[in-house]
Structure 1
Amino acid sequence: MAKILIAFIVIAGATLYLLTKGGGDVTISGESHSVESHAPAAPAPAPAEK
């Protein structure tokens, strides 16, 4: 059981290290619902008239 826990910690640490070195914006704070995290929605196209 201890070996599984140690392996999980090592793999999680290696994954976090690789993600941060890969240039990604990694945060451990959970979901971000701020204005900066989303681009504004594009306006819907006008319906075609017949």
Structure 2
Amino acid sequence: MWKLAVGFALFAGLGLYMISTGGDIDMGGEKHGADAMHSEAPAPAASAAAPAASEAK
């Protein structure tokens, strides 16, 4: 029984350590509307591949 308690304590300590060193972690759940963070759309890959395809001919 004591092994279970020691294992739980070690696992909980490891979890707390990983959360505390994880940086900006938001535990608020899903965000909608103005609270939602959006990243910029990636650059279109088709425009970058088009010049390379025309040079290969």
TM-score range, shorter chain: 0.5 to 0.7
Q: Which of structures 1 and 2 has the larger relative contact order (alpha carbons within 8 angstroms, sep 6+)?
A: 1
> What corresponds to 2:24 in structure 1?
25
> What corresponds to 2:12 in structure 1?
9
Query: Could you list the runs of 5+ residues in structure 2 that have no partner in the other structure?
Result: none
More helix by share: 2
Cα distance 1:9–1:35, how it changes in 2: closer, same or farther (>3 A)? closer
Identity across matched positions, percent = 23
Query: Could you list the runs of 5+ residues in structure 1 that have no partner in the other structure?
Result: none
Query: Number of residue pairs matched?
Result: 43
Q: TM-score, normalised by structure 1?
A: 0.52
Q: Which of the numbers 28, 46, 54 marks the counterpart of 1:48?
A: 54
Q: TM-score, normalised by structure 2?
A: 0.48
> What corresponds to 1:39 in structure 2?
40
1:27: Cα distance to partner?
A: 2.9
